[in-house]
């Protein structure tokens, strides 16, 4: 609602309060990242939001999520590092192998 009212700072403040023990944490971080990139054109904080997801939940899916986010901001070298980390955790994932390639 804060975003619909044009209050970006309030929306970010609310999203920042969501902690990793909340089941909506990853979605909140993704929304926070979207605000940073889309509204504020802040690539550094966009990337930081995804790094916080990995810090809290270093799963294969989240490594792929981070890699994809990095590709979105034209950081392929960084993205490859996260794709490779995902591959280390699941070397049999054919889709992941293709994405990494």
> Is 17 strand, coil or helix?
coil
pLDDT for the residue numbered 34? 94
Residue 4 is predicted with a pLDDT of: 64
Neighbouring C-beta atoms of residue 99, cutoff 10 Å: 16
Task: Give the pLDDT score at 59.
Answer: 95
pLDDT at res. 24? 95
| Under-50 pLDDT residues of the chain | none
What is d(CA 59, CA 86) in angstroms, rounded to the nearest whole number?
Answer: 8
Predicted local confidence at residue 2, as pLDDT: 59
Cα–Cα distance measured from residue 1 to residue 66, given in angstroms and rounded to the nearest whole number: 26
What does the pLDDT look like over 70-83, one tens digit per residue? Answer: 999 999 999 999 99
């Amino acid at each position: 609602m804060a975003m619909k009212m044009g209050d970006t700072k309030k929306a970010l403040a609310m999203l920042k309060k969501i902690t990793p023990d909340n089941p909506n944490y990853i979605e909140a971080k993704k929304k926070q990242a979207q605000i940073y990139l889309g509204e504020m054109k802040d690539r550094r904080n966009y990337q930081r939001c995804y790094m916080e997801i990995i810090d809290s939940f270093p799963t294969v899916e989240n490594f792929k999520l981070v890699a994809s986010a990095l590709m979105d901001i034209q950081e392929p070298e960084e993205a490859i590092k996260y794709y490779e980390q995902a591959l280390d955790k699941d070397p049999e994932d054919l889709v992941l192998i293709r994405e990494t390639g």
